[in-house]
Amino acid sequence: MSISLREGILAGRVAFVAGASSGINLGVALGFAEAGAKVALISRSAEKIEAAAQGLRSAGHDAVGFAADVRDFAAVDKALAATRNRYGEIDIVLSGAAGNFIAPALGMSANAFKAVVDIDLLGTFNVLRASFQYLRRPGASLISITAGQAVHPMRDQIHACAAKAGVNMVTQCLAMEWGPEGVRVNAISPGPIADTEGMRRLTPSPQAEAAYLRAIPLGTYGDKRDIAELAIFLCSEGARYITGAILNCDGGSSLTAGSASSFNDPAKR
């Protein structure tokens, strides 16, 4: 990924990225690093997060990884404290850990529902709430990763819909509460992003993938770089008056959410 137009825009900043062992969140972490930030990454797996951090270091960036489960407030707090001890006060926090699977409500246990809510919603609260005492204020930028399910009901996604709707509310409530401290809190809602586990799960067949593509106004999947670019903008001076926003980065797919969702129509599976 090359972001030469953004090079140096985050120089001297410290970023903390949760759920960053792979996928969109790792892509954003790389974008932050290429824009000049020092980056701390967390994820549940010590092996995976160290590999992700090593990948950034091998590319010439200053990065460190910590194993921490976002469902465990104390573990998140410990990783944030270690980040501040290493790099100083934190300027950027991105909370993106998520879990999902396709299942109807009657085919889902209470524990399965709880697992997604705990990772997505409780995890977002834990990361953002724990980060507050470590932030450089004013000017800190906090970002949640949400999803279209937050506002568009979908079949077989009651758990993700409920969790992401909560993520939106956490984002906007904190924007109201922390705005007077100079802390901005926004969310990015990615659409169909290529080469991600989410798309592999949500388009399990060629028919489902074709249905998704037909329903995207721009006619193509997005790239992890697209989410990284938006995140970098939200952390820049150009976004200094933006807070409480839920920003779609989805090629227009939220405009046709019913038809874009392969699992909304059983005939398309």
Q: Is residue 1 part of a domain?
A: no
If DSSP codes are grouped into helix, strand and coil, which group holds residue 141?
strand
Domain range for 87 is 7-268
Residue 6 pLDDT? 61
What is the CATH number for 96?
3.40.50.720
- SS3 letters for 175-238? HHHHHHHCCEEEEEEECCECCCHHHHHHCCCHHHHHHHHHCCCCCCCECHHHHHHHHHHHCCHH
Could you tell me what percent of the chain has a pLDDT over 90?
A: 83
Give 266's pLDDT tier (boundaries 50, 70, 90). very low
The total of other beta-carbon atoms located within 10 Å of residue 13's CB is 23
Residues 6+ apart with CB under 8 A from 65: 20, 40, 41, 42, 43, 46, 49, 50, 52, 53, 54
Residue 2 pLDDT? 47
Location of structure tokens 């990015």 = 188
pLDDT of 116 > 70? The answer is yes
pTM: 0.92
Q: 28: closest CA among 197, 234, 206?
A: 234
Dist. CA 126–CA 111, nearest whole Å: 20
Location of structure tokens 């399910």 = 149
Residue 260 pLDDT? 44
Summarize the confidence of residues 228-251 as an average pLDDT. 97
How many domains is the chain partitioned into structurally?
Answer: 1
Give 258's pLDDT tier (boundaries 50, 70, 90). low
Q: Is residue 68 part of a domain?
A: yes
